[in-house]
Amino acid sequence: ESTFAMLKPDVASDTHTVDEIKQRIAEAGLSIERERVCRLSRRRCGKFYAEHRTRPFYPALLGFMSSGPVVMLELSGESAIGAWRSLIGPTSTETARKEAPRSLRAMYGSDNTRNAAHGSDSPASAAREIRLMFQK
């Protein structure tokens, strides 16, 4: 199975943290098939987060996600979607700290937007996100 993973601007520019996260990915039995570091435009962020367009946090999300570099990864492995989502933990960093203190969001996130990482929630989302973010 493949999934899309993204390290957000709050962690992507810290090479030590990125290396730690890559080590955790390997320890979880996942392989990095593709990797790309870039800075996303607001337009690309808008396409990526289109399902949140009507939500009150949408403008802040676009501003944050286009504020610095991101590390985009295509991961593969046994139950890759679930394995990566388990590794990153709950969306809310507060919840992550209580329920999954060793998760990436608990360790590196600071709030619901600046929560260190993104992970696809289904095979269909993974396919769409991989296509969108790794297109030429």
Indicate the annotated binding residues for ATP. Answer: 8, 57, 85, 91, 105, 115
- What is the spatial order of strands in the sheet that 69-76 belongs to? 31-39, 69-76, 2-7, 117-119
Rounded Cα gap, residues 59 and 53, in angstroms: 8
16 is catalytic: no
Q: How many CB atoms lie within 10 A of CB 50?
A: 11
Residue from 11, 30, 118, 129 carrying the catalytic annotation? 118
Q: Taking a C-beta distance cutoff of 8 angstroms, is the pair 107, 89 a contact?
A: no
Which residues make up each annotated binding site?
Answer: 8, 57, 85, 91, 105, 115
Alpha-carbon gap, residue 79 to 98, rounded angstroms: 25
Containing 72, the helix (H) or strand (E) segment is strand 69-76
CB contact at 8 A, 6 and 134: no
Both tokens of 15, joined, read 């090479």
Please give the positions annotated as active site: 118
